[in-house]
C-alpha cells in the first residue's frame, strides 16, 4: 500500500523502496491522512536544493500535512515549534510569514522531510521503530550524492549526519519549545544553507513567502 503511494520518481531512485516500505506495519490510527504521507516527495528530485530533516509529524491532526514543520494555511494557532522557526527565520533572513504553510518553500527546492512520516493522533513519536527510519536513511543516502545542503534538527535527524559530507551539513538543536533555547535561536541555518549552496554552485533559496 505504501509503495503504491510513493511517487514514481522515488520508486526509481531507490530500487529497494518497495521492500523497505512493505516492512512498515502502519497502525490503523494514524496521521497525516494517507494521501499526504508522501507529500514531501512530490518535489521533483532534480529541484531539491535543501533538505530540512525533523523528527515526526505534529501530533495534532489538523496540523499534520505531510511536510515537516509545516501546518495548513487555515490553521490559526501555529504550532509552537513552527513559531520558533519563524522567529529564527525573521532574525536570520528577515522573513515574517503570514501563515504556517511551508509549501512555497517546497516549491523552491526545500525538501521538508521527517525521519518518521506518520504518528498516532495526539501522540508524538508513536511510530518510531516501525521501519520509517530505515526508509528515510535510504532517501538521505541517495540525496547525499547530489549537490544538496542538509539541515538536521534534533537528535533523531542528527543520527544520519555520518551519511553526509560535512561541507553540505548543518546540524542544529530541534526548534521545539523544549530545546530551542539550547542553541537553535541565533544559529542562522537559513543564511548558512545559502552560503553552502553558493559553494556548491547552486542558486540560493528565496526564504521569503
Separation between Cα atoms, residue 47 and residue 109, nearest integer Å: 5
Q: Is 34 left (phi over 0), alpha (psi -120 to 50) or beta?
A: alpha
The active-site residue, picked from 56, 74, 92, 206, is 56
Pairing of strands 149-153, 50-54: parallel
Residues belonging to the chain: 209
Pairing of strands 110-114, 50-54: parallel
Is 92 catalytic? The answer is no
Which residues are tagged catalytic? 56
Amino acid at each position: 500500500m505504501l509503495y503504491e503511494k510513493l511517487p514514481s520518481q522515488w520508486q526509481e531512485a531507490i530500487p529497494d523502496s518497495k521492500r523497505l516500505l512493505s516492512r512498515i506495519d502502519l497502525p490503523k490510527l494514524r496521521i497525516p491522512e494517507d494521501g499526504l504521507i508522501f507529500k514531501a516527495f512530490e518535489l521533483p528530485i532534480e529541484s531539491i536544493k535543501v533538505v530540512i530533516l525533523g523528527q515526526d509529524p505534529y501530533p495534532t491532526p489538523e496540523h499534520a500535512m505531510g511536510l515537516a514543520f509545516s501546518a495548513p494555511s487555515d490553521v490559526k494557532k501555529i504550532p509552537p515549534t513552527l513559531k520558533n522557526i519563524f522567529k529564527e527565520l525573521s532574525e536570520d533572513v528577515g522573513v515574517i510569514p503570514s501563515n504556517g504553510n511551508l509549501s512555497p518553500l517546497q516549491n523552491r527546492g526545500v525538501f521538508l522531510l521527517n525521519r518518521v512520516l506518520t504518528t498516532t493522533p495526539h501522540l508524538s513519536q508513536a511510530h518510531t521503530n516501525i521501519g520509517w527510519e530505515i526508509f528515510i536513511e535510504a532517501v538521505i543516502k541517495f540525496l547525499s550524492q547530489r549537490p544538496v545542503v542538509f539541515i538536521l534538527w534534533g537528535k533523531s535527524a542528527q543520527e544520519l549526519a555520518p551519511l553526509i559530507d560535512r561541507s553540505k551539513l548543518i546540524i542544529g538543536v530541534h526548534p521545539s519549545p523544549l530545546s530551542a533555547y539550547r542553541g537553535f535561536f541565533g544559529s542562522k541555518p537559513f543564511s548558512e544553507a545559502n552560503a553552502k549552496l553558493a559553494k556548491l554552485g547552486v542558486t540560493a533559496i528565496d526564504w521569503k513567502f
